[in-house]
A and B are shown apart, each in its own frame.
Chain A
Amino acid sequence: MSILLNEDTTFIVQGITGREAVNLTKECLEYGKGAKVVGGVTPGRLGREVHGVPVFDTVEQAVKHHGGPIDGSVVTVPPAFTKDAVMEALANGIKIIVIVTERIPRQDVAQMVEFANECDARIIGPNCLGAIVPDVIKMGGIGGPAKDAAKAYTPGSIGVMSRSGGMTTEISSTLTAAGLGQSTAVSIGGDAIIGSTYTELMPMFEADEQTEAIVIYTEPGGRMEAELAEWVTENNSRLPIVAFMAGKFMDEMPGMSFGHAGTIVEGKADTATEKIARLKEAGIEVAEEIAEIPDLVKAQISKKQEVTA
């Protein structure tokens, strides 16, 4: 099993005629069992095709053409138009939206998230590469071209969540090399406000029988890791978690942003040091290096099995 996506998931690409979106569409069509990309939207481009995918002016036209509800959308339009594109997708019944676009003001993100909540829909990102179910489907640029994605990701029992798109692949590849496949890997986005935090995805991984452990990539800035630590403590999660924290050097450089828009030390709670302490308190293992992750995961899984046995 998997979370968020499966082989039947249908989605559209908003902004499909852009250079990166054209590549992304091809990658998704070619990866795993082949994603069901049922349409694309670029205003004014009705009637065109991108790798055989029909292009529409509106999401409504795409839904009509498909003849029923569409599950998802990958949004790749420029930052000034992203909010409108996402609102349009939500208003047309789309339930899972991956926002690839960077540099969206957080007010826009907050508004999209509020509307998504009203629509009972979920946003992944912004500033993310989407999600992948190894050998089955990918939604977004995660892992890159099909053959590259196939090298890094293999099916298995580890759920991966990461604030960095590239590190989602680096970590998954490290797991793969150690014989640990992934149930679903999600690039959750690098902004200060994102549609789905670790904590919001945890219940889905909990409910997924295939998932036995979680690996997360974290950074300074924000309260997302503290939120996860609280959740783990309160919910007595069945899933062991191994975390990796990047950007420790930033603790000495408050007020400066590195790597991602959301990665900035604004207060004590934002620092790598403080976050590592919070995660450890909640029983989450924190790896010093990426290469240590597989062994820590294996040890955690066998520890859990001993407890249940």
Chain B
Amino acid sequence: MRFFEYEAREIVKRAGIPVTDYGFTRSADEAREIAERIAGPTVIKSQVLSGGRMKAGGVQFADTADEAKAHAETVLKLEINGHMPRGILVDPKADLKQEYYLGVVWDGVRKKPVMLFSDMGGIDIEEVAEQHPDHVGRMHFSSRTEPLDYLAKECIAQTGVTGRALQRITPILSRLAKLFLERDMTLAEINPLGELKDGSFVALDAHMDMENEARPRQKALLKDLEIGDEETREAREATEFEIAGEEVDGMDHRGVAGNVTEFDGNLGLVIGAGGGSLTLFDAVRKFGGEPANYCEIGGNPSVAKACGLAKLVLQKPGVDKIAVMMSIVSNTRVDIVARGVIKACLELGYDPAEKIAIFRIPGAWEDEGYKILDKYGVEYCDRSVSMHQAAKRAVDKIGAAA
């Protein structure tokens, strides 16, 4: 989950990393007060979980407190890439001498966290790495012990940075690495770290991503930041349809029938499992089909859950038929899914044979499942029909119907 900049700065501050005397607010009047307190030029920054803030006009510069208030009013109303700002940050305008990049991420190949440093801060690190590789330092460190300062020092020194900058940035990078582990981050970035004309080093922007799986053990921090469990902070806000999908999945604890993502096609999908869903969604599109949704069933869900998911998809406006497909199942029972989707059709007053374009779930309890499908005249196939062939059959049928 992503943090807003004002939250990320708070996290950085708590880790003992120097930050500017900024203020966060949701009101223009308060923005004025903060600017007065700062008593100098300020930067008004929109707080949105989206890139491209600067380009969209979400970052404004003010010389006076009145100007700060006026900018605050505009920025608070400005939608950026579909997101309304959570509030604004009023930051003293930095008198910059130099900008640096500091980051920590996981390296899935080495299976270790890695510190990243560049003396070309303020721009995208991937771009710097591509065009100026000698300006990027990298240092892996152990996740089993507290990161040591000398590793941060070596990382910085790789870029040729020496002198006072090296001395001052070393503990900052090392603290960022420590914070990364302590807070279960998947990304911790200070970009830029500013070296000001007065000789101080301060974090001017921070970007943090916490691993969703670690949220339960980071409760105290999330509570301090007033982030509730309901705030998922996904890349895209969940739609009503997707929220309803989560409710279906939460009906009981047996298996999964959820992870629903909305699309705008006419072929409803009841598909699984993890890899199977990815394969089948691609397959439907490959043959020109237009999926109405993505979803995942697996782990042997109850009849009620399979039924709930199928009903949700069947009721989605624009859905003509559903395709019920999975890779070969070993844990999920074919007969249970068959019963669930047929029940969903019947309860909504549909003929299962008409609404279910294809049923392709081979594996555990398939004979029992096929018996039920036979009874209701639903077209099904076994493992001799590939996932792609099944997807094609569904696309053909919906094409013929339309």
Residues of A at the B interface (CB closer than 8 Å) are 20, 79-80, 103-107, 109-111, 113-115, 141-145, 148-149, 152, 162-167, 169-170, 173-174, 177, 190, 192-194, 197, 217, 219, 222-224, 227, 244, 246-250, 253-256, 258-263, 267-268, 288-291
Contact = CB atoms under 8 A, between A and B. Distances in A.
Contact of A258 (B186, B216, B261, B383): B261
A30 to B, nearest CB: 13
A166 B327 contact: yes
Interface string B306-340: 00000000000000000000111111000000000
A272 B384 CA distance: 27
Which 3 pairs of residues, A with B, have the shortest CB-CB distance?
A: A144-B330, A164-B275, A255-B235
A192 B294 CA distance: 21
A222 B235 CA distance: 18
A83 to B, nearest CB: 11
28 contacts: A106-B213, A107-B181, A107-B184, A109-B111, A114-B143, A114-B144, A148-B363, A148-B364, A149-B330, A164-B274, A164-B275, A165-B273, A166-B275, A170-B328, A177-B383, A219-B275, A247-B281, A247-B282, A248-B282, A250-B278, A253-B235, A256-B234, A256-B235, A258-B277, A259-B278, A263-B274, A289-B386, A290-B388
B276 interface: yes
Contacts of B329: 144, 166
Given A80-B216, A166-B329, A192-B106, 6 more contacts: A193-B108, A223-B109, A227-B109, A246-B279, A256-B261, A290-B388
Interface in B119-166: 126, 142-144
B387 interface: yes
B235 A254 contact: yes
B263 to A, nearest CB: 9
Nearest to A192: B108
Nearest to B385: A291
A79 B213 contact: yes
Contacts of B384: 177
Interface string B188-208: 000000000000000000000
Contacts of A177: 383-384
A267 B103 CA distance: 16
B347 interface: no
B143 A144 contact: no
Contacts of B326: 166
B112 interface: yes
A223 B329 CA distance: 28
Given A166-B326, A166-B329, A260-B274, A144 B364 contact: yes
B276 A166 contact: yes
Contacts of A250: 278
Interface in B342-387: 363-364, 383-384, 386-387
B143 A267 contact: no
Contacts of A106: 106, 186, 211, 213
Contacts of A109: 111
Interface in B232-289: 234-236, 259, 261, 272-279, 281-283, 285-286
Contact of A291 (B213, B277, B388): B388
Contacts of A166: 272-276, 298, 326-330
B54 interface: no
Interface of B: 106, 108-109, 111-113, 126, 142-144, 181, 184, 186, 211, 213-214, 216-217, 234-236, 259, 261, 272-279, 281-283, 285-286, 294, 296, 298, 326-331, 363-364, 383-384, 386-389
B279 to A, nearest CB: 4
A110 B112 contact: yes
B327 A169 contact: yes
A263 B388 CA distance: 21
Contact of A110 (B106, B235, B281): B106
Contacts of A217: 275
Contacts of A197: 109
A173 B328 contact: yes
A104 B276 contact: no
A149 B173 CA distance: 51
A259 B296 contact: yes
Contact of B108 (A111, A165, A224): A224
Contact of B275 (A162, A222, A255): A162
Contacts of B181: 107
A288 B184 CA distance: 37
A109 B279 CA distance: 27
B108 A167 contact: no
A36 B176 CA distance: 47
B276 A107 contact: no
B207 to A, nearest CB: 13
A105 B213 contact: yes
A259 B330 contact: no
Contacts of B388: 289-291
Contact of B213 (A103, A163, A254, A290): A103
B282 A246 contact: yes
Contact of B274 (A105, A256, A259): A259
Contacts of B298: 166
A256 B236 contact: yes
Contact of B276 (A142, A170, A288): A170
A218 B4 CA distance: 33
Nearest to B126: A267
